């Protein structure tokens, strides 16, 4: 057989037009090698996104200070604001002449619950934000 055929699909028309078929025939065996063209077609559009030419890759390093400071302030506010409300209520209920004297247990349990929840949230925020800020050194 002297025929060399190349199987291509209809979607591969451009490759078939631009490919070279190199056929060798050695006795009873024949091999065909398809090589793609090395030059790029003139109508091919190339576009790069997110290259160093379009981005400012310099870092001032200010976020390494500002982010932990902001997280520390948020953690402090998370702990302090509910305590600023609950501690005066507790002190008011300690007074025997107060109408809320029987609610001491309520304010103490609310303070304990608030501190436990705030410590859990603070631990998570510190683990997420404070450990990552130190990993990116200059």
What local confidence, expressed as pLDDT, does residue 50 receive? Answer: 59
Share of the chain above pLDDT 90, in %: 33
Segment (H or E) for 24: strand 20-26
pLDDT of residue 63: 81
Q: Which residues of 84-111 are buried (b: 16+ CB within 10 A; e: fewer)?
A: eebeeebeebeeeeeeeeeeeeebeebb
Query: What are φ and ψ of residue 99, in 5° steps?
Result: -75, -15
Name the band, by pLDDT with cuts 50, 70 and 90, for residue 118: very high
Task: Look at the block and give the residue holding tokens 């683990």.
Answer: 127
pLDDT of 96 higher than 70: yes
Question: Residue 9 above 60 pLDDT?
Answer: no
Structure-block tokens of residue 105: 């247990």
d(CA 126, CA 115): 16
d(CA 23, CA 91): 97
User: Would you place residue 11 in the very low, low, confident or very high pLDDT band (cuts 50, 70, 90)?
Assistant: very low
Prediction pTM value: 0.52
Q: What's the pLDDT tens digit per position in 36-77? A: 666 666 677 766 665 556 556 666 778 888 888 999 999 999
**How far apart, in Å, are the Cα atoms of 132 and each of 65, 121, 124, 129?**
12, 17, 12, 6
Mean pLDDT, the chain, whole residue set = 75
pLDDT of 138 > 70? The answer is no
């Amino acid at each position: 057989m002297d025929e060399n055929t190349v199987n291509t699909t209809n979607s591969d028309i451009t490759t078939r037009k631009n490919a070279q078929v190199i056929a060798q025939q050695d006795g009873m065996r024949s091999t065909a090698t398809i090589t793609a063209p090395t030059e790029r077609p003139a109508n091919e559009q190339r576009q790069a996104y997110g290259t160093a030419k379009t981005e400012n890759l310099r870092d001032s390093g200010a976020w390494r200070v500002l982010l932990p400071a902001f997280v520390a302030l948020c953690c402090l506010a998370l702990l302090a604001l509910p305590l600023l409300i609950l501690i005066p209520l507790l002190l008011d209920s300690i007074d025997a002449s107060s109408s809320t004297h029987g609610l001491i247990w309520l304010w103490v349990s609310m303070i304990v619950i608030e501190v436990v929840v705030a410590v859990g949230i603070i631990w998570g925020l510190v683990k997420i934000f404070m450990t990552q800020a130190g990993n990116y050194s200059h």
